[in-house]
Amino acid sequence: MKKAVFLAVGVLVMVAAGTSSLYAADAMEKKVMSREDAVKLALSAAPASIAAGAAVMVPGEDGTMVEAKAGTNGFTCIPDVPGGVAPDPMCMDPAAMEWANSLLSGAPKPTNTVPGISYMAKGGQHYEKDGMIPMQESPGAKLVDEPAHWMLMWPVSAQASGLPTMPNPGGVYVMWDGTPYAHLMIYQNPNKLK
């Protein structure tokens, strides 16, 4: 089974995959991250005002996700989205979590009834192949870094909105256009594009 690339669904992917270790990039070597460092990294995904009240989930010793910090504002942060080569923390509100759960459960479309927002202030990664961003890793796809960004988990169409479907200097695009899981990507600083 191909490993899906989940830029917006990290916490649920980690639960489903049973990921039990977190890694921090240290030159060319990966080292296991302490729980304290994992919490700090997870909270770095969101603006300080949101991180202050966010819950944090980290992988436990048995591979299941455990709460490392209780939250008060409905946001949940994780220290890493599996599939990349460097940690890419994420913080999601309840609607974004519901969107992610729909994707992972194979629902034909997301079930959230209000827009969800997800923050990745440290950036993230996605695959590109043939000028497109596939929903899952495939042979010949290239892993590409993305700068700090937000994601709006709500139906959007490139044709209806006039927005592009790939990263661009404008900093906004529709990821996974033409699927029920299309969502809006908003770069914090488009000038950081390589």
DSSP 25-83: EETTEEEEPPHHHHHHHHHTTS-HHHHTT-EEEEE-TTSSEEEEE--SSS-EEES--TT
* Rounded Cα gap, residues 116 and 99, in angstroms: 7
- What residue segments make up the domains of the chain, in order of their start? 10-192
> What confidence tens digit (pLDDT) does each residue in 92-124 have?
999 999 998 898 789 999 999 999 999 999 998
**If pLDDT is split at 50, 70 and 90, which confidence band does 136 have?**
confident
> What confidence tens digit (pLDDT) does each residue in 155-190 have?
999 999 999 999 988 899 999 999 999 999 999 887
Question: Within a 10 A sphere around the Cβ of 61, how many other Cβ atoms?
Answer: 8
The H-assigned helical ranges of 89-190 are: 94-105, 158-161
Beta-ladder partners of 55: 76
For residue 169, the model assigns a pLDDT of: 86
The distance of Cα 63 from the centroid of its chain, to the nearest Å, equals: 19
Name the residue type at position 107.
A
> What confidence tens digit (pLDDT) does each residue in 45-69 have?
999 999 999 999 998 888 788 999 9
